[in-house]
Amino acid sequence: PAALTPATPAVPIGEVDASAAGARPTGLDELDRVLGGGLVPGAVVLLAGEPGVGKSTLLLEAGTHAATTGPVLYITGEESAAQVRLRADRIGAVAGNLYLAAETDLASLLGHVAVVRPQLLIVDSVQTITMEGVDGAPGGVSQIRAVTAALIAVAKQHAVTTVLVGHVTKDGSIAGPRALEHLVDVVLHFEGDRHAQFRMVRAVKNRYGPTDEIGCFDLGEQGITEVPDPSGLFLTHRQNAVPGTCVTVTLEGRRPLLSEVQTLVAPSALDIPRRVTSGLDASRVGMVLAVLSRRADLKLGKQDVYAATVGGVRLSEPSVDLAVALALASAVADLSVPGSVVAIGEVGLAGEVRRVTGVQRRLGEAERMGFRLAIVPVGSGAAGTPGGIEVREVEDIRQAMAAAFGG
């Protein structure tokens, strides 16, 4: 095709004005941490999470804070305006500049945007909005793609920060076409057990900031509150040590979190013993069981095994392996791992304990929380660790058990 004269000529990158991409704080420090400083004008954010996890509550809180500096438009397609108002009253999220509309038609939604001229647009949820002239039911692939493309065009043209709420499938991935994740600027996952109060916001994609940060929140009857220091939430505060438990330090993004692993081993009355996990990767727990049986001579073949975390946190990092192994060995031998001990390391199939990343940061958090002995893999660079915690390096699972149980 014939070349066209561009409307704006290309300029050296050093002359490009970057002030237009400056982030505005949301008023929630934990959310700003994940976003990379705040919401960028014209950015399109996709917030995904399971039903009932608190997505709407979080966005009402963020919208109320943002309404102090300019108009905010909240489009609800799943609830009536009265239902959203009742929630806003309950959590104290009522502001004069926060506008609310119950719409499921894209043309009407764009009409509200033209009238209100918001600096922040919240669409809850994108699966409920329909576009006339596009085939397919609401929430279908064609509808979602068309609606999202139209909203992105409006956001970029008028520099309106747009937050789209998305549903997730049974396996936790975002429902609808994966193309949505490529179209938007930021993809956030809102995670948490519906039966626990702790929630985490995790960035999966972020064009304006890091993707290795998490934000921690507590969801209660009075709304959602920030948790800047969540380590104590995942520990059981007890006077005496109990067999079958061990504490580890995981890295969620750049943030170290102390977490407790609990296990229970009991004789099985079944031909095939039970293997039940909660908050842990079942395949990794099964691998650790096999390593203990073959490399440490623990008799687990006829035992029911239960393994869980405390506080509803989900631990999928390989560094949890050593704590799981020591908790299981503790349960089998009926020996307690001292309450001042943390275990960090990945367990290999040969029984070796492998190095993990961020050991210094993990040990610093353990020392801050009062732990006095850390069992870590050989070669972890323990020379520069905090002075208040003893570091014991181990090569394999047998050495780790000897360090935890005193020989």
pLDDT digits (tens, 9 = 90+) for 258-296: 999 999 999 999 999 999 999 999 999 999 999 999 999
> Which strands form 275-278's sheet, in the order they lie side by side?
275-278, 303-309, 255-267, 245-252, 341-343, 373-377, 390-394
Q: Which residues pair with 252 in a beta bridge?
A: 255
Q: What is the DSSP letter of 95?
A: -
User: In this model, does residue 341 exceed pLDDT 70?
Assistant: yes
Main-chain phi, psi angles of 178, to 5 degrees: -65, -15
Amino acid, res. 86? L
The CA-based angle 85-28-280, given to 5 degrees, is: 95
CA pair distance 163, 41, nearest whole angstrom: 11
User: In this model, does residue 20 exceed pLDDT 60?
Assistant: yes
The CA-based angle 173-251-37, given to 5 degrees, is: 75
Confidence of residue 150 (pLDDT cuts 50, 70, 90): very high
* Tokens (6 digits) for 197: 């109060």
Q: Is the dihedral of CA 261, 265, 269, 272 positive or negative?
A: positive
Calculate mean pLDDT across residues 387-402.
Answer: 93
Main-chain phi, psi angles of 390, to 5 degrees: -85, 135
CA atoms within 13 A on the CB side of 346: 13
Confidence of residue 386 (pLDDT cuts 50, 70, 90): low
Tell me the three state secondary structure of residue 81: helix
Contact 46, 188 (CB under 8 A): yes
Q: Return the pLDDT at 385.
A: 55
Residues recorded for the chain = 407
CA-only gyration radius of the chain, Å: 25
Confidence of residue 343 (pLDDT cuts 50, 70, 90): very high
**Residues 6 or more apart in contact with residue 1 via CB below 8 angstroms:** none
Tell me the three state secondary structure of residue 24: strand
Whether the bond into 330 is cis, omega within 30 of 0 = no
> Which strands form 223-226's sheet, in the order they lie side by side?
98-102, 72-76, 120-124, 161-166, 44-49, 186-191, 198-206, 214-220, 223-226
The CA-based angle 208-214-218, given to 5 degrees, is: 130
CA pair distance 346, 95, nearest whole angstrom: 49
Q: Which residues pair with 48 in a beta bridge?
A: 166, 189
Q: What is the pTM of this model?
A: 0.82
Contact 268, 305 (CB under 8 A): no
Q: Return the pLDDT at 407.
A: 63
- Could you please report the per-residue DSSP string of 215-269? EEEEEETTEEEE-S--GGGGS---SS--TTEEEEEEEETTEEEEEEEEEEEEE--
Calculate mean pLDDT across residues 339-346.
Answer: 96
Contact 200, 214 (CB under 8 A): yes
296-335: pLDDT as tens digits: 999 998 999 999 999 878 898 999 999 999 999 999 999 9
CA pair distance 368, 360, nearest whole angstrom: 12
Backbone angle region of 139, left / alpha / beta, with phi > 0 → left and psi within -120 to 50 → alpha? left
Pairing of strands 120-124, 161-166: parallel
Q: Return the pLDDT at 269.
A: 92
